[in-house]
Every structure is written in C-alpha cells, then in structure tokens.
Structure 1
Amino acid sequence: MSFNEQFDQHGAWRREFALRLKLLSEWLKDHDLINAAVEERLLRLETQVRSDKVMVAFVAEFSRGKSELINAIFFAGYGRRIMPASAGRTTMCPTELGYDADIPPCLRLLPIETRLKPQALMEWRAVPEKWTRVDLDVNDPVQLAQALEKVAEVRHVTRDEARALGFWHDDAPEDNPRIDAQGMVEVPKWRHALINIAHPLLKQGLVILDTPGLNAIGAEPELTVSLIPQAHAVVFILAADTGVTKSDLAIWREHLVTDSDDNDARLVVLNKIDTLWDALSTPAQIQAQIDRQRATSAEILGLPVSQVIPVSAQKGLVAKVTADDKLLQASCLPELELALAQGVMGQRQKILRSAVTGGITELRAEAGRVIHIRRRDLAEQMIELRGLRGKNTQVIKHMRSRIEQEQLEFNTSGAKIHAVRSIHLKLLREVFTLLGTPTLKSELAQLTEVLKQPGIKLGVKKAYGQTFGRLHESLKNAQRTSAEIQSMLAGTFKQLNAEFGFSLQAPKEPEMSQFIVDLEQIERSHLQYLGVANILKLAQPEFSERLVRALATRLRVVYETALGEVELWNKSAASQLDAQLKERRKNFGRRIEAIERIQQAATGLDERIDEIERHEREVNELDGKLNDLTAQLTSAPVSRQNPSLHTEAAPLTQAA
C-alpha cells in the first residue's frame, strides 16, 4: 500500500471515528449521562481526531530534486508539475502546503523584510494583512503551477541589506550568495509561504514542509528549532551522482541529527538515480553503482542502509503522468512511498489510536459512574419499598418522615462540600501559577538578557542549561503539587462516600512526564543549534531575539497543553461531585413520590416496585449499550476496501 493509499485509509478511519463520537455524544445527552467532564473529553477527542496533522518535512541543499520529489509523490494526479522544479534554485523560502477549510484556496507570502523585526514566524501567522495573498484556482493546474512559481522569486539587495537579513556573513564567505555585476546580492523575496489547497491528502491532515537550502535554513532559527523538529517525518534528499557533499553533511549534522531515538522518522532519498542509467553499462553494473552510493551515504550519515532509498523523482513523476508501470518500478518511487507509509503513517496511527483508547476508557469510566449511582439508588429504593409490604399506615408515615429528615440533613451538608472545593481550588491555583504565562516569561528573562548582549556569546549554552533546569523544576513542582491534590481528593472522596453513600473516585492526576519529554526535545533542538557554525549568527542581536521568541512560542504550547490537562482533571473531580449531588437530590424526590403514591392507593406499592424493576432493566441495558459503543470506538480501523465501512455506524443511530 502506497503512502497516498495508507493516508487515505487513515483519513477514512478518522472521519468514521469522528462520526461515531458525535453519535455517542448525542446518545449520552439523550440519556442524561453527560456531565461537564464527559462533554469536555468528547470535545477534545473529536477535535484531536478531526484536526490531527501529519507533517512531512522535505530537506535538502539546492538542486537535489526536492520539489520534483514532492510533485511525484503528492501531485502527479494533476498531470503536470505543480511545485516549481526547474534547474537551479527553485524553493527560495520555506513553504508549507496544507488545508484549512475556513480559508479560500490561496498562496500567502510573508515579505523577507519581516526578518528585520523581532516577531517569531508563529506571531506573523496571526497578522494576515502583512502577508501577500494570491488566490488559486485548484481546477486549473496551469494557473496553480504559475502562481506557485512565486515561491522562487528573488530580490537583489546591497551587501549591508543582505547582512541585516541574515544572508551575508563576512566571516563565512564560502556560504554567501553570489554578487552580480552591479555588486548586488540575490536573496529570497519571501520569508515564508503558506499554500492552502483542497488536495485530497491535504484535506485529510497532511502538511508538507518544503525547505530551502543550507543558507536559507540557517538564517531562519524558527525553522530549525521548531518546524523541522516537530515534523513527524523528515525526508532528506541527496543527489545520486554526487552522494553526500560537504553542504549536505552540514545540513544533516547541524539540523537533522538528534540525540533521541526517533531517527526511524528520518528517511534519506538518494535522488536522480536516472543520471546513473548508462547505455554503456549493464543493468547489474548500474545497480552495483547505486548500491555502493547507497552504502557509502548510509555510512557517512550514520544510518542503516534500509533508511537510504534510491529514487528517480523525475522518472517517477513522468511514469505516473503517462501511466508507465515499467518506468515507475524502475524509478523506485513505490519503495519510497512504502517506507513513508509504514514509517510515518504507521507511527502516527499508533500514537493517535493510543490517545483515543485512553480518552475513551476515561470517558467510559465517567459515564459508567453515573449509571452505577442510578443502579445503586434503585437497589436501595427496592429494599426500602419491599420492607413496607404488609405494614400499616403509621409505619409508612414514619418512613416518609425519615426520608424528609435525611433530605434536610443532606441539604445542610452543602457547607462541608463547599469547604472541600475551596481547599482543592487553593492548591490548584499553585499549579496554575507554576504553568502560567507570567511564570514562563519570568523563567525566560535571564536567557533573553544573555542573548541580547552584543558580540560573541560564549555563555549562551550555560544560560540555556540554567533556563531549562528551572523549567524542568517548575514542571516537577507542578507534578508534586498535583500528587498532593490527588492524595487530598482521594481522602476527601473516601470520607464523603462513607458519610453520604457516594461512589466518588478521584480522577487520574495529569501526567507531567509527557511534557518533560517535550521540554527535553525542545532543549535538544536549541542546544544543537548553538554549535560553532552559528556562533556568528548569535552575535547579531536581532537574530538572537528571534531565536528566543521562537523558543517562547514553542514552550507556550507545551505549558498551555499541560494547563489544559490540569483544568480537565479539575473538571472531572468537580463534575463527579455535581453529578452525584444531582442524582442524590433526584433520588430523594423519587423516594418521597413513591411514599405519596403508596399512601394514596393500596396498589401504589406494587406499581412502584414494578416501575423500579423496569428502571433496573433499563439501566442494565444502558450499561451494555455504553460498553458496545465505546468498544466500537476503540476497535481497529476498518479496511478501506471493506464495503461495510460506511454502514458500521448504523447501530449507533438506533442506540436510543
């Protein structure tokens, strides 16, 4: 199965899951089984599945055939090249291809002059009026391809301007762009490009990041420390006729090699193998040459040979457009697509399904508690009513007085429950403070000060280490405080269960370890960037400020996500208490109503017992249906070829 086919199947599973989740939500509402925490979990799961993105970053030095490879894998269906892929430098600025249904098909371009300002790329995304917009006609491949050629546009500036923009370095002349006859320097016209089109794969959540060469990558810190490290897969392209050049190795070592164990998500493409197809050589000789280049490249880059895939993107594109199966096999493009499908999509699906299973299990537990309370209340009522059989009016009257007294005592216990909530919220405020934006800004202040200092910053690694040390400690403090709250909740819930017959259970505390891992990944990507190669760039105050803003933007996402987990944890605890208070009040009302009916008619007792038996059966049916519906959501995705794909949701519509 090719990458496109597997991605299509993944999209079908996500749509099917979102539909099932929506129907489950409606069923829970119809049966009054939803509280604030359950509703929040449903919303989060649906958002997570609907908006799940898979980013594949294509990285290479100039003239390695990167844009042609993107055309061959993703856009051959247009019957022509869509991304500019002529000889020489094509992609001059980082380009993201994705889909947002709220935005018309368009190309948005951020002027290169924005580099002279301190805002991070993420901040510029929130200012659409600063981008140049070109509308796209997705039904006209010619217009689409012509419009996308703008990503290759350049400007000619003076050396001083090029230096200010980060493209000219007096101390590294070999990396500088060439100077034309007028003494001007060629630089990209645009800093970043966003392409929004309704391509089938993009609509399903694929995001393609097309990056420029080494000079442009190094000048944009956010690309190196944020976008590429967050990609789910990185495809690094080499040319088969040259192998690993000095500039290729510089990109690999400075921007792609990590200390983590996620190198499986890095594929190396040995492109342009058709340049080795020689009419004077036998197929065996050609294959031996490709194998040698593949083995040498793998050894230099420190990868297993299986992760270096020989390909001819140009022949693969031609083969797809002309439906030439023999040429397609010779291009080896299917092997690359298979590697992407198994590596990227397999890993992404595994992560998403794991998150989904965890979310559904917690949702089942929340809704199951409400059913348990109803079942227990019905059982207590049944014991109470059966005890009234054969009793006289006085006994029944006494029973009513006892229930009313219990109700009164329960209503006056509100102060105790309110006190529990107050203590809980006080401790929670400590966690909110630890994970809040003001704390994050404070922790970054010292690093910002070091990076703002003029000249060579020899102590920058130490400042980074100290900053991340404090950030790690703040997350650990949040974890410790959360553990204290969890312990207090467990004890308080146990006391309330004993005193009022509740069945409260402290929800699972938020797991901060995942955010500590995120923090470590961010730290690695930044420390990797602080090598000797970038020491001169760091001497520029504007560059350093962009770097720390990029860091702050990425850290803010981690802290806000952690804060969201704490808020959901709090909501789960509060919702449980609210749900059980609500059910208890309803229970008092039903018990008094039953006594009134018994007092008014001799047959009232038997009728009420029959009603409770019927309600017990209904509650058991609800529990069984809840199990069925949640089991469907955690089951493996159906195959795309399975004709029942669009009919399996039918039982949900009849669930009520």
Structure 2
Amino acid sequence: MHIVKHNAATPEQSLDMLPQLAPGLDALADWRLALERDLGALEGYLADSDLLAPAAAATCRALRQRLTSDKLVVAFVAEFSRGKSELINAIFFADSGRRILPATPGRTTMCPVELCWDGEELPTLDLLPIDTRQDGGTLAEWRDRREQWQRVQLDPDDADGLAAALAQVTQVRKVTREYAKALSLWSDEQPSENPPVGEDGLVEVPAWRHAIINFPHPLLQRGLVVVDTPGLNAIGAEPELTLGLLPSAHAALFVLGADTGVTKSDLEVWTDHLGGQGLSCFVVLNKMDTLADPLATPEEQAQAVERQCQTTASTLGIPRQRVFPVSARQALAARLMGDAPALAASRLPELEAALNADLLPQRQRVLATAVISGVASMLESSTRRLRDQRRANADQMLELRGLRGKSAGRVATMLERVGQEQAELEECANRLKAMRLVHAKMNRAAMQCLESDRIRESVLKMQESISSGWFNLGARTAFAKMCTQLRELLDNAQKQVQEVNQMLQALFNQLNSEFAFTLGLTSAPDLGQFKRELELIERSYNRYFSVTRAMRLNSPAYSEQFQRMLVSKLRVVFENASNEIESWNQLATQQIDGQFKERRHSFKRRRESLERIQQATDGLEQRLAEVEVHDARLLEQLDRAQLLAAELRGRAERGPVMDWPQAEPTAA
C-alpha cells in the first residue's frame, strides 16, 4: 500500500498552522506498517524453519491484515445548520486552499457521507439513490452492490472540480407524499419531523441515501475515516446510522451552535443516538464568534463563553472538559490565509489537541495488545513444536550413545522396540479417529446454538407476538423476550464449549501421559463479549420503542428495513461467536495432528538410523553427530525466533515515535 505523508509546511505556512492530527496519524501509520513488516519477518523465519503451525500462520495473516487496513473512524453528528461541514473542512481539508465539503447557507449535507481512501479504487464519489429505501437491504448489503450506485470520478488535483462534485450530497428531490411515505420519510403521526412541502404540494426529500467519497487526502491515506451525518430526521430515518456507523466509530464530535446552546432537537440527538453509547464523545460549541459583543470587554466575552460551556455540560451530563468552544469558520479562514493568531483565537487547536490526546494513544493501545497477544500465541505454538523435535532428538541421542560398543543383536533389539512403539502409535491413531467423531458431534451441538436459523426463528416469534403492529403495548416486551432467548442461545453454546473443553483436556492429558506428547489446550472461548454486544444492540433498539419513535415502525417500508437491520446485526454477533469457537477447535485439532505427524517422522528417522548402523560399523558416530548438529540448529532457531518476537513486542509496547499529551477522562 502506497502512502503519501502529510504535506510539510511551506515557508509561508508555519507548522502550527497544520492540523494537529496530521503528525500523530503519520506516526501511528508508520508504526503500524513497521509492525506489519516485523510480523512478516517473524512469519517468514518460522515458516523457513518449519516451526509455523497452520493456526499460527492464520493468526499472523489476520494480524498483518488488521495492521495494514486499520482505520480511525471519527463521526460528526449534529442537527442541521450547526456548522458541522465547515468544522470538517477546517480540521481536515484546509490544505486544499478552499472549502471542499459544501458549507454555505442553504447547501447543507442531506445524506450521510463517508470520507475515506481505498488505494485499490480510483478517486470517486459514490452516491446511493434514495429510491433504494424501497427495495429493502441494509447499507452494508448495498456496499457490495456498487453497480447500483451513481459513480462520479474525482480529480484530486482540481480543488474547484472536487468541491463542485461533492456539492451533489446537498441535492434534493420533489416527490409526492405517498412516495415519501413509501420511503419512510413522511409520517402522518409525527408531522413535526416531516420534510418541507412546497406550494405544489410535493415533498422535498434527499436525492441520495448515502455517499462514499474515496479521496487520496494524506490524512485519509493514513487510515482516517470521517463520517458526516445529517440532522435528526435523517438519523432517525436510517436505523443503520444508529446501529451501524455510529457504534463503530472510535469517537463522535457532537456539534452544537454556541448561539443556541442545546436545543430540544439537539437534546433528542444526544439522548437517542450518542449519550450512554460508550463512544468517546467530544461536544463542540461551534459559531463561538456569534457570541462576540462589541460593547463587552474581552473578560466579559470570555465569561459568556464559559457560562455557555458550563450550561451545555450540565444539560448533557458530561464533564466540562469535554466541551470545546470553537469558531470553525474563523479557523478555516485563518488556515487558508496563514493567520496563526486568528487560528489560535478560533480555539480549534485546543479541540485538535484533545483528539490527539484521546484517540491516537487509545488506538495504539488496542493494536499493541492485539499484536503482543498474537505474537505470544505464535511463539508458544512454535516453541512447542520445537520442543517436540528436541525431545525426539534427545531420545535418539540417548539410544545412539547406549549402542556404543554394543553388538548387532542389541541394534536388532532396538529396531524391534521402535517397531512396537510405531505399532502402538498407529493403535492410538484409531482411538483418535473415534475421539474425532465425538469431538465433531459435541462441536456441532455448540455451533447449532449459533446458526442463523435460530436468529430468524427468534425474530419470527417476536413478529408473531406483535402481529397487530410494532406500535402496541406488547412490542417492547416481545423484543425483550427475544433478546433473552438469544442470550440463552449464547449461554447454551458456552455450556457446550465447556463440555468440549473438558473432553479435549482429558484427551490431551492421556496423549501426553501415554505417548509423551506435549499438547497444551488454549483457554476455551468466552462468549461473554458477544452477550455484551447483544446487550448493546438491545439498548440501541429499545430507543425505537418510545411513543414518538415507535410510530415510525408502523410504516411497512421502515418496519421491513428495521427488521432487516436487526437480523443483520444479530447475525454478525452470532457469526463472530461461531467463528471463534471454530478457530479454537481447529487449533486443538491441528495441534494433535501436528504432534502425531512429528511423532511418526521421529520413529521413521530412528528406524532409518538404526538400519544404517546395522549395515555400517562407523554409522553410529556419524549419525550421533548429525543428531547433535540438528539439535544445536534447533536451539539457534529458538534463540532467533525469541529475539525477533522480543523486538516486535518492544516496538508494539513503545508505540509510535511521538509524544502525546495525557488524555482527559472520557465522558460516559
């Protein structure tokens, strides 16, 4: 993957004019790629040394893929006309020399917009027509059907053309009320949330349902993804925003107007979609310049801003330090003109410093933990494999040294004993075959609890119990009952996994005792994390059973989309749980197969060695020397593998080469 570093400051543009996230993302990306290279070197060395088990290879590939494709997702959430797009321009795109996202009056973003970069695609703007809301299907499903999107090619070197192309996200359409209802964008029960109606009686709706901008901006190339969401109506009309995009973001910037503070609709957005979701939320009081009073002293103006911040924090129930007064318009103009004092006055650098302090170290810790855990697993697997080979070598050297000065009859006796041990190992193979059948049966019982049919059955039962419509007194109870049933499925799967764990542990102990295997069973999967994910989905969906929100669910089109999204989210949770169980079982099976194969090879080598000794009197010392050399080489391989792993762990623990300030506590 080719990555372009963030542009260096020109003589006319000092370093303090650049976005503060730029050097942090540069350092984080360099660190990720360095870890990926180190992992590749460790994987290559272990493979060349025949110490890389299939499960360890799969772990390494997954880690390397995660390091190269890891994204930092920042969502901007606000009601209409809060200056959200201007804030995005000021933080991320001021180096283009002009506004990129439309942010002028009357040109508001009408659909969710994702800004990202995929180096395997051309720079494009992909627009999903609003009509797809009638066809069902979640946004995740539509992503795989890009032929249905309208694609606009972008020229990264043409800032004016880029801005003109991106202005399409503000487009609207005029449709009849009936068609707006079919799109779930009109509700007779909630007239206050309906879009405007023209003199011709037509309803104004967004032209697009979703937009993806694939653009090679340096920050996006370094793994940043910016999600720009429209106002409350659009968020409420698209469940996947609440249940997909926002929960997957690493941070959310909730943008308010400093002149209005927290309005009723702002509070609804916060309560319904942000507060209590576990996101790292930053509240931005934008348009701070509107509080300027020419008749007030600077101290009085500062006090007015601070009062607004305190009131906002109190209303939202968050610490004051999570509220940042900013003037995005002033900051963008300052960066475009290279005016450092004006940029400082906009107070945008304070918000950027907080993002730096909170997001980047947090992402580094998550990735470092994954890498350190993965390397430990790889090294444990390889070390166990190497120990098996050294134990076989030790057995051979003991036998060979015991044969010094012995007669040909003694060698024949040793050959006979090796043959007996081989026969016993083959008998063990037959027992293992029977145990595999038992293991497979027990594993199927666990996997059956997590099949997608179980999810569909639970959702169908819920639908049957609320057949009179989602908006009834029993809907919330039926939904809660369904969630309880799904948790019970996870509990049953966990019980089955524990039984498999006990069976495998007994088998491993038996093989280790009777055949000197060195099998070690890793901890059984803990499905508690998937229960927590299920609880998060339950909390998110429960918001839709309030009196105001539940009315939407009586719309057939919206109800169908709501249910499809629910099934899609639940399927992901259960598939991930199923994959974790399957990976754990495969690791145990591969470990048995690997050691059994190595034991067979060991017997073969011993037999060949003894047969050569039988044929040549000088073969004993020669073979003994060969085994000793092979054992010394294994020790060298172990030392080298441990050195590579230690260097990799050290890089992961040190993190990027950059000093970050300590993050403030994140609001709940």
TM-score normalized by structure 1? Answer: 0.94
Deviation of the 1:225 alpha carbon: 2.3
Deviation of the 1:5 alpha carbon: 2.3
Verify: 1:190 aligned to 2:205, yes or no.
no
The SS at the match of 2:108 is: coil
The SS at the match of 1:608 is: helix
- Equivalent-residue separation in structure 1 for 2:118 and 2:47 (angstroms): 30
**Which residue does the alignment assign to 1:59?**
77
**Which residue does the alignment assign to 2:308?**
293
Deviates more, 1:460-469 or 1:50-59: 50-59
Counterparts of residues 98-177 of structure 1 (less than 5 Å): 98-177=116-195
- Equivalent-residue separation in structure 2 for 1:547 and 1:142 (angstroms): 39
Counterparts of residues 412-431 of structure 1 (less than 5 Å): 412-431=427-446
Deviation of the 1:24 alpha carbon: 1.6
- Equivalent-residue separation in structure 2 for 1:4 and 1:552 (angstroms): 39
Deviation of the 1:549 alpha carbon: 0.8
Question: Structure 1 residue aligned with 2:551, among 523, 536, 550?
Answer: 536
**Which residue does the alignment assign to 2:50?**
32
* CA spacing shift, 1:449–1:119, aligned 2, 3 Å: farther
- Equivalent-residue separation in structure 1 for 2:553 and 2:634 (angstroms): 66
- Equivalent-residue separation in structure 2 for 1:459 and 1:101 (angstroms): 49
Deviates more, 1:7-16 or 1:272-281: 272-281
The one-letter amino acid paired with 2:170 is A
Question: Structure 2 residue aligned with 1:321, among 330, 336, 343?
Answer: 336
- Equivalent-residue separation in structure 2 for 1:197 and 1:363 (angstroms): 37
**Which residue does the alignment assign to 1:245?**
263
- Equivalent-residue separation in structure 1 for 2:586 and 2:599 (angstroms): 20
- Equivalent-residue separation in structure 2 for 1:615 and 1:52 (angstroms): 41
* CA spacing shift, 1:436–1:205, aligned 2, 3 Å: farther
**Which residue does the alignment assign to 2:631?**
616
The one-letter amino acid paired with 1:18 is E
**Which residue does the alignment assign to 2:494?**
479
The SS at the match of 1:96 is: strand
- Equivalent-residue separation in structure 2 for 1:636 and 1:310 (angstroms): 37
The one-letter amino acid paired with 1:223 is L
Counterparts of residues 513-552 of structure 1 (less than 5 Å): 513-552=528-567
* CA spacing shift, 1:375–1:498, aligned 2, 3 Å: same
- Equivalent-residue separation in structure 2 for 1:635 and 1:462 (angstroms): 51
Deviation of the 1:612 alpha carbon: 2.1
- Equivalent-residue separation in structure 1 for 2:452 and 2:191 (angstroms): 41
**Which residue does the alignment assign to 2:349?**
334
Deviates more, 1:186-195 or 1:433-442: 433-442
- Equivalent-residue separation in structure 2 for 1:553 and 1:99 (angstroms): 25
Gaps of 5+ in 1: 643-656
The SS at the match of 2:173 is: strand
**Which residue does the alignment assign to 1:207?**
225
**Which residue does the alignment assign to 2:8?**
none
Deviates more, 1:571-580 or 1:439-448: 439-448
- Equivalent-residue separation in structure 2 for 1:200 and 1:450 (angstroms): 52
- Equivalent-residue separation in structure 1 for 2:584 and 2:656 (angstroms): 37
**Which residue does the alignment assign to 2:424?**
409
The one-letter amino acid paired with 1:4 is A
The one-letter amino acid paired with 2:169 is V
The SS at the match of 1:413 is: helix
**Which residue does the alignment assign to 1:77?**
95
Verify: 1:461 aligned to 2:476, yes or no.
yes
The SS at the match of 1:34 is: coil
The one-letter amino acid paired with 1:529 is Y
Deviation of the 1:532 alpha carbon: 2.1
Verify: 1:629 aligned to 2:644, yes or no.
yes
- Equivalent-residue separation in structure 2 for 1:548 and 1:31 (angstroms): 52
1:481-505 deviations in Å (ceiling 9; x for gaps): 1111011100011111112111111
Question: Structure 1 residue aligned with 2:459, among 423, 426, 444?
Answer: 444
- Is the CA contact (8 Å cut-off) linking 1:451 and 1:544 kept in structure 2? no
- Equivalent-residue separation in structure 2 for 1:603 and 1:317 (angstroms): 85
The SS at the match of 1:156 is: strand
**Which residue does the alignment assign to 1:496?**
511
- Equivalent-residue separation in structure 1 for 2:310 and 2:657 (angstroms): 38
- Is the CA contact (8 Å cut-off) linking 1:451 and 1:545 kept in structure 2? no
- Equivalent-residue separation in structure 2 for 1:85 and 1:533 (angstroms): 31
* CA spacing shift, 1:448–1:355, aligned 2, 3 Å: farther
Verify: 1:275 aligned to 2:290, yes or no.
yes
- Is the CA contact (8 Å cut-off) linking 2:181 and 2:555 kept in structure 1? no
Deviation of the 1:514 alpha carbon: 1.2
Identity %, equivalent residues:
45
Counterparts of residues 357-436 of structure 1 (less than 5 Å): 357-436=372-451
Deviation of the 1:451 alpha carbon: 6.2
* CA spacing shift, 1:254–1:641, aligned 2, 3 Å: closer
Deviation of the 1:626 alpha carbon: 1.7
Deviates more, 1:556-565 or 1:601-610: 601-610
Deviates more, 1:220-229 or 1:242-251: 220-229
Gaps of 5+ in 2: 1-18, 659-668
Deviates more, 1:19-28 or 1:236-245: 19-28
1:171-225 deviations in Å (ceiling 9; x for gaps): 3333333222222221111111111122222233322111111111111122122
- Equivalent-residue separation in structure 1 for 2:547 and 2:22 (angstroms): 40
Deviates more, 1:414-423 or 1:485-494: 414-423
Verify: 1:222 aligned to 2:237, yes or no.
no
What is the number of equivalent residue pairs in this alignment?
A: 639
**Which residue does the alignment assign to 1:647?**
none
- Equivalent-residue separation in structure 2 for 1:632 and 1:511 (angstroms): 30
- Equivalent-residue separation in structure 2 for 1:533 and 1:89 (angstroms): 29
- Is the CA contact (8 Å cut-off) linking 1:457 and 1:538 kept in structure 2? no
Deviation of the 1:159 alpha carbon: 2.5
1:102-135 deviations in Å (ceiling 9; x for gaps): 3221111111112223222222222212111111
Verify: 1:304 aligned to 2:319, yes or no.
yes
Deviation of the 1:79 alpha carbon: 1.6
Deviates more, 1:110-119 or 1:288-297: 110-119
